[in-house]
Amino acid sequence: MRGGEVFVEDVPAPVTAPGFVVVKTAFSAISAGTELTGIKHGATPLWERALREPEKIKQAVSVVSQRGLKSAYSLITDKLNSGNPAGYSLSGTVIETGEGVDEFTVGDRVACGGNKYAYHSEVITVPQNLAVKIPDGLGMSQASTATIGAIALQGVRRAAPTIGEVFCVIGLGILGQLTAQILKANGCVVIGTDVDPQRTALATTLGMQYALEPEHGAETGVDAVKRLSNGLGVDGVIITASSASDSIISTAFKMCRKKGRVVLVGDVGLNLNRGDFYEKELDFFISTSYGPGRYDGVYEEKGLDYPIGYVRWTENRNMSEFLRLVASGLITLDQLISATFPIDEAKHAYDELKRPESKPLIILLSYPQADTEVVNRVVFNHSAKPMKGNRIQIAIAGCSKFARAVHLPNLRELKNLYHLRAIMNRTGLVAKNSAKQFGADYSTTDYNELLKDETIDSVLIATTHNLHAKMAYDALCAGKHVFVEKPLALTREELSRFADFYQTDSQLFLKPVLMVGFNRRFSPHIQKIKKLTEKRTSPLIISYRINGGFVAPDNWIQTPEGGGRNLGEACHIYDIFTFLTNSRVKTIEAMSVSPLAGYYMRNDNFTAVMSFEDGSLCTLTYTSMGSNDYPKERMEVFFDGKTLVLDNYKTTWIYGTPSAVLKTKTTEKGHKEELTAFAKVFATADIVIKNWPIEFWQLLQATDIALRVEELIT
């Protein structure tokens, strides 16, 4: 979806990954309420979105401050023009399985969920905890509703109904229809209401015992509910409606008997009136999507299941149980599915959702089922401009937010040096959109496509940190020059592979260039400091402080994917120390602050002190405990009666020498300059290791220091 409009386009098919399966889609389900809300949100003007989400304004202001207005404008417009994938419930056949997947095999019929995975797409990749096998005898079309059904089932589980209890369902869209059927299958008496009399009539046809007509009004509805429940009020209410009105929640409370319960599945106004629930001591529950595990990356993406003895019904088990209910005939779907459209006619399907006279509940999209399982993982960008003159043909591997915000805009500005040959990303839509935005020749989801493309000279790797070392090493072995974002490696074994690769007489034997994204040394501020310290007669004393800000322990940066703050970020500073001293490290000492109650991690708050062979003494203080209002980085350099102070890469103050103060309008950390330096090495005929933008021994040393500090603070 883009700007409130639906469109269909070709994107590279996904590749599998550990714990994931690749599925060829048969049917995907369009849920009217959820997806129409997405279309409406996409059509909302930018200024209106900003007023609703003031935090986004703060983020934009921060980007302007750090990167300038032009860069901020480019980021926002690129984001708005990229579009977002739609869909979260489908069925299909497994065509590939990743490492560690033992529950599924190629050929299994599965239902899949998740708004980051189960898109309306011919081929998808999904983690194993978001896929379930389809019971024998159940059709693919019905199975494609598993995720929607799991949402309804979880709402009923939160209500904990027992046989014979009376429940009211408010809102008889698709979730309400399924909720009413599940309650009836559970032995409950079901009352339902909706603003659309056609939906109440449909629910009654499907087994709901009583319908409240909307024209009776809220108070009359409350009275009717009491009459239908022997004057006591219902045992519980499940709200599956969507409305900004606060009256719905108030009505639900009024319908309940004493000690009753209300479960919110839908999205309604929540200005609560204490008098509605206090005297009856009602329980109010929120039902979160498909069930336990939802929004938990460790469960959904890492495949760590919850023990059944402690969490009986996870989102995966809810999906599976819903399919069992459908297969056994306890839930009827045929009358809830309004139509089926081929994927090529998806726009017509969404147009059907908007028709006020039809008001469909579910529309399915069907996908071609060819005999061959060949999938296309390369999509060419026909709007790309041909390369002019002699340029470095570079590919991006890993189109992260950082790559899209920094590296790709810089490569676009450096078009006199680089030609963007390809963009690879695990998510095909991101790769395709980025290729279109930045003019790459093609997009792909398969890293091997870059390695076997003989036209590619260099690969820029910007994936999660745990993939850097292997991807960089594979590219070097394929004869590609490599620019890999920091860190180069997360383990000593990974680092030693690079030392071994270049060990064989590397001064004489031509091998690909390896560069790590230690951008700060290329900043005009650090370059100024380097120039002022080059002719020093005494060692340096350097004090560097990073006010890094808090990052939650479950953020990817803190997990094995990121390696933590020291390995993932502090390595920048160890490179600066190495660059300014131009000396081998001699000793390293480090201490960390012990965390309190698990809020901070040991490698979040530490001090590292190191001496160098030239006599210099360098100290890094890294903290996540400071205020976000205080500048992030500051460095002081003392030598020969002089003092240099770097203030957050915007100002360099100089004391003890007549050299002018350096001030820049925006934060200048050397990202563009490092790409220029990387390109310049290829302009010389002699690309040996001593002529690299960063000397090889310095690349190794910065990473080695980070590894040694990590051993001392964890």
Which DSSP symbol is given to 304?
A: -
Q: Residue 408 is inside which H or E element, if any?
A: helix 408-413
Chain-centre distance for alpha carbon 69: 25
Q: Which residues of the chain have pLDDT under 70?
A: 1-4, 33, 36-82, 214-219, 371-374, 504-509, 597, 684-690
Q: How many residues does the chain have?
A: 714
Q: What is the pLDDT of residues 601-654, one digit of tens each?
A: 888 999 999 999 999 999 999 999 999 999 999 999 999 999 999 999 999 999
Bridge-based pairing of strands 267-268 and 242-243 is parallel
Predicted local confidence at residue 60, as pLDDT: 60
DSSP result, 460-506:
EE-S-GGGHHHHHHHHHHTT-EEEEPSPS-SSHHHHHHHHHHTTTTT
Q: How far apart are CA 406 and CA 409, in angstroms?
A: 6
Does this model's pTM top 0.75? yes
Q: Please give the order of strands across the beta sheet that includes 166-170.
A: 210-212, 189-193, 166-170, 234-239, 256-264, 283-286
Q: How far apart are CA 370 and CA 657, in angstroms?
A: 75
Q: Reply yes or no: is the peptide bond before residue 135 cis, omega within 30 of 0.
A: no
Instruction: Using alpha carbons, select from 124, 144, 198, 180 the residue that is nearest to residue 31.
Output: 144
**Residues whose CB is less than 8 angstroms from the CB of residue 48 and which lie 6 or more positions away in sequence, other chains included:** none
Written as six digits, the tokens of 320 are 């599976």
**What percentage of the chain has pLDDT greater than the value 90?**
76
Predicted local confidence at residue 44, as pLDDT: 55
Predicted local confidence at residue 270, as pLDDT: 92
489, exposed or middle or buried, with CB in 10 Å at 0-12, 13-18, 19+?
buried
Q: With contact defined as beta carbons under 8 Å apart, do 421 and 439 qualify? A: no
Predicted local confidence at residue 78, as pLDDT: 60
Predicted local confidence at residue 354, as pLDDT: 78
Predicted local confidence at residue 508, as pLDDT: 43
Chain-centre distance for alpha carbon 187: 41
Domains of the chain (ranges; CATH) run: 20-145+307-329+338-366 (3.90.180.10), 148-286 (3.40.50.720), 378-516 (3.40.50.720), 519-669+689-713 (3.30.360.10)
Q: Residue 37 is inside which H or E element, if any?
A: helix 32-42
